[in-house]
Amino acid sequence: MTQTLTLRRPDDWHLHLRDDAMLQAVLPETTRHFARAIIMPNLVPPVVTMADAQSYKARIKAAMPQGSRFTPLMTLYLTENTEADDLAAAYSSGLISAVKLYPAGATTNSASGVANFDKVRPVLERMAEIGCPLLVHGEVTDHDIDIFDREAVFIDRVLDPIRRATPALKVVMEHITTKDGADYVRANPERLGATITVQHLMLDRNHMLVGGMRPHYYCLPILKRREHREALLSAATSGDKRFFLGTDSAPHATHAKESECCSAGCFTAPVALACLAQTFDDAGALDRLEGFASLNGPGFYGLPPNEDSITLTKSESPANLPKQVENGSDPITVFDPGSPVYWSVT
């Protein structure tokens, strides 16, 4: 017996494509299933200006598989030196869809991020005026804060003060990982949304640490306690339109993930929809998968849902999910949830 589920084609509201050979290797894994994606700007050097975004978009377009209708939604990387006029020009032209805030040192390639939030307040006010969304990596980086508490402290120390000072600013809390994050979104219905990743819906920190460190589960923000995963699953399957899919699919060469200093990120793009279907199925919420994956994100960004559709099929035997994506001499290991997935995109 098989079961099928047809959805409007989903979008990915948080995606890392990298650049050069890595871009060429991983882009087809997203274009195969997703119609649009918010593209992260944390390259080296980062995508800071309108000209940077134009150049990066051109490289993405050149790397797309023949016949692909995928639309990259570009972003700028917020720094303490970001020029408000350049940002506004990029947004008004339609080149960018949002601006990304990385606290300095919070994650991969975030060294150019913001350390003094007072220095970016004029830019945030300009963004509020023009309606440009701010996407936040919600973690403080203070050495005295436990890594598992970074998100909750960020909400109190940084995010809530920013939103109170600039109430018209539209904000997406990216890849929330805690009950604190989900509760904050629910308590603040105006101009606030949140993305949730596949790994944070399926795994908690025990999966990463018990029995030995599993480097392919290491990401930032880091996996949290089971109670937080359960809160995220409740939010994702609730039907609340403020929560939507952002895979945060973050490719690294396998040797970089399995090195002494493990790179942060889970490469989920090839298996994201199959894993999501399994997760929603297990939760008895398949009827809400389309909202989370295909409708809520466009609604938040003011875009129409995609007109075409995809079909997922559930089989009696576990799906044969891909193990890696070739990238010359540096293959990329694909996320494996460590439990059977019976769904696949057909």
| Catalytic residue ranges | 248
Do the Cβ atoms of 138 and 182 come closer than 8 Å? Answer: no
Tally of CB atoms within 10 A around 118 = 9
Q: Taking Cα atoms as reference points, which of 59, 63, 70, 88 lies closest to residue 30?
A: 70
312: exposed, middle or buried (Cβ count in 10 Å: 0-12, 13-18, 19+): buried
Query: Which tokens hold the place of 327?
Result: 């990238």
Residue 248 falls in which region: left (phi positive, over 0), alpha (psi -120 to 50) or beta: left
CB burial string 257-287: b at 16+ within 10 A, e below? beeeebbbbbbbbbbbbbbbbbbbbeeebbe
> Cα-flanking dihedrals φ and ψ of residue 311, to 5°?
-125, 135
Rounded Cα distance, 103 and 17, in Å: 20
R_g of the chain computed on alpha carbons: 19
Q: How is residue 191 written in tokens?
A: 């101009």
Contact 243, 196 (CB under 8 A): yes
Using DSSP bridges, classify how beta strands 192-196 and 171-174 pair: parallel, antiparallel or unpaired. Answer: parallel
Phi, psi values for residue 310, rounded to 5°? -130, 160
DSSP state of 9: P
Give the Å distances, CA to CA, from 220 to 15, 54, 106, 187, 202: 14, 28, 8, 25, 15
